[in-house]
Amino acid sequence: MGMSTVAAARWVERWECQQQRYAVDREERFTVIADVVEHMTLGRPAPLVLDLGSGPGSLAARLAGRLPAAEVVAVDADPLLLELGRAHHGSTLRYVEALIGAPDWLEALALDRPVDAAVSTTALHYLGEDTLKQVYADLAGRLRPGGVLVNGDHISPDSAKVRELALDIGRRQAERCLALIHEDWQSWWSGAAADPELAPFLARRGERRHPPCEGNDLPLSGHVGLLREAGFAEVGTVWQFGNSHVLVAVR
């Protein structure tokens, strides 16, 4: 039995609010990423777009709205978040449960053609440097020539002093936007655990223990270096606020 649309709407709305704590100017960043994908897929009849670490489909749903002819695949390792997305966003997205960076993770996506765009927001920083290097190479192998990888994430400037300034600027913006009044990640999950309607999906989540978060603290130049090594010819930042970057890599 699936989740009710009422419960899904409630928990997705709480997710959207909670996530504002963790991404400076989150909505603007989503808009910029959609702008890039729209620009890079212009003229293609049915673009194939991947959202990596999609959660319940926050960005994926926005991309599907912007590009109605696209096939948008929401990829996440968490069955609860994917079920919330299915119940709330419906058939506009295709949902796949896969752990990004695991062996053969791309095979789970059952891709039938080259990928036009792969996007990710506030997810790839969970990967260790070696895993991230492999994921960049995996994506380079699946993107069509001229395809694009767009990563919106916490990426530090190379200079330690500029990094310090960027963090402070991001903090000030979050305070101005009242982002910190929203519940945090732990509060959201605690609330979800207390909702009986989510219990079956949380039980499924318990069967799939994620490996420990490796994490990486690569500065901008570190990401650029790994992407070029993976085979991306053109790499650079198209938007930045504080330490929040939208980094674009063209195959």
- The pTM for the full model equals 0.94
Decide if 191 contacts 17 (C-beta within 8 A): no
* pLDDT at residue 181, rounded to an integer: 87
Average pLDDT, the chain: 93
Closest CA to 201 of 69, 87, 120: 87
> Confidence class of residue 135 from pLDDT cuts 50, 70 and 90?
very high
* pLDDT at residue 209, rounded to an integer: 54
Secondary element (H or E) of residue 241:
strand 234-241
* pLDDT at residue 210, rounded to an integer: 59
Secondary element (H or E) of residue 181:
none
Sign of CA dihedral 24, 97, 14, 88: positive
CATH architecture of structural domain 5-250 = 3-Layer(aba) Sandwich (3.40)
Q: What is the mean pLDDT of residues 69-86?
A: 96
Predicted confidence (pLDDT) at residue 204 exceeds the cutoff of 80: yes
> Confidence class of residue 215 from pLDDT cuts 50, 70 and 90?
confident
Predicted confidence (pLDDT) at residue 8 exceeds the cutoff of 70: yes
* pLDDT at residue 30, rounded to an integer: 97
Q: What is the mean pLDDT of residues 191-216?
A: 81
Beta bridge partners of 72: 49
User: How far, in Å, CA of 105 to CA of 76, rounded?
Assistant: 11
Predicted confidence (pLDDT) at residue 109 exceeds the cutoff of 70: yes
Pick from 116-130, 133-147, 175-189: least confident? 175-189
Predicted confidence (pLDDT) at residue 105 exceeds the cutoff of 90: yes
Closest CA to 68 of 51, 84, 45, 89: 45
Sign of CA dihedral 61, 62, 66, 67: negative
Token couple for 89: 């966003």
* pLDDT at residue 1, rounded to an integer: 66
Per domain, the residue ranges of the chain are 5-250
Predicted confidence (pLDDT) at residue 211 exceeds the cutoff of 60: no
User: How far, in Å, CA of 116 to CA of 108, rounded?
Assistant: 18
Beta-sheet pairing, 234-241 with 115-121: unpaired
In single-letter form, the type of residue at position 72 comes to V
Q: What angle do CA 95, 97, 101 make, to 5 degrees?
A: 120
